[in-house]
Amino acid sequence: MTTFPWGPGTATGVGSYPGEDGAEALRVVLGELPELPHLPELPGRGVGADLIGRTAGLLVDLAVRVEPSGWRFGDRPGRDTRRSLDHLHRDLDVLEETAGAHDGPFKIQVCGPWTLAAAIELRTGDRALKDPGAVRDLTASLAEGVARHVADVRRRLPGATVLLQIDEPSLPAVLAGTVPTASGLSRLRPVEAPVAQEALRAVREQAGDVFTIAHCCARRVPYGLLRGAGFDALSIDLALIPERDDDPVGEAIDAGVGLFLGAVPATDTALPPLAATARPVRELWRRLGFAPARLAEQVVITPACGMAGASPRYVRTALKRCRDTARMLHEAAD
């Protein structure tokens, strides 16, 4: 049986939160998710704090800037890159000051190479995804930057076990060939699965000896590809797991892959009773035929996706619901 870096009955967040106060967001995370906290992302702060810009700031020897159409590669680091790095460095300073003595698991998040390639434009205005050579350069640069980021977080949290989440919401579209061209009039050619898998493996492996999680909150999650890339856990939206995916999900669980299940809505809503939140998790596990005790050890409960669109009050409510659901599933298995 695989040993996971978290204890039974654990919950965590996905990544993003509302607002602009990084210190307050971190305090909420540490308070509501003490068993597996993570570094909050606040896209509401603007340029450089979004999913693409935050990770683009980590790229080594590749500069980016913002154009009216979005992020684009440039000749040299400029104001937009500095904003991205400033946001991240401030967050890491706050993390070190607030949680420097943390001695348990701690999760950080970065954008994966395929979602970056589908979003960042070449100097010509085409998406980087169109050019295999550009994708290779982007992947190599990202791998080096992520490795440096992991090392920096470890230096600031010397007693923690760092978990690295790689966000790939665009991966299913990249594989299916549904990413639009710059003009929007056609679609870019699909990327072959072995090529996609190798790029993800390269980023994951260069990060070093770190527990890695692939997060994809879209439909048609490529479970086999992500397992083949060597990820230790998969983070998915529970509501987007159709029964036809039972076999690949079951194979992942049987292979000892951790499962981060998005069981709580990520935007404001009236939550049902606690038992109703836990029921779909139990039903999935029962359908797959695994022992209840294994659920509490192998599954981490999360919101369905990032919570940047939620209200601060709902964030606390949703994170508490994640924690209570995880504990209920653990206690029921005893």
Give the span between the Cα atoms of 10 and 13, in whole angstroms.
11
CATH number among 3.20.20.210, 3.30.460.80, 3.40.190.10, 1.10.569.10, domain 22-45+103-332: 3.20.20.210
Bridge pairing between strands 211-215 and 299-303: unpaired
Give the span between the Cα atoms of 303 and 265, in whole angstroms.
6
Q: Tokens 């397992």 map to which residue?
A: 227
Model pLDDT for residues 94-120, shown as the tens digit of each residue: 999 999 999 999 999 999 999 999 999
CB 14 within 8 A of CB 215: yes
pLDDT level of residue 334 (50, 70, 90 thresholds): low
Average pLDDT of the chain is 94
Bridge pairing between strands 70-74 and 63-67: antiparallel
The pTM of the full predicted model, rounded to 2 decimals, is 0.96
State percent of the chain over pLDDT 90: 86
The phi and psi torsions of 104 (rounded to 5 degrees) equal -115, -165
Model pLDDT for residues 209-241, shown as the tens digit of each residue: 999 999 998 989 999 999 999 999 999 999 998
Q: Where are the beta strands (DSSP E) in 68-127?
A: 70-74, 105-111
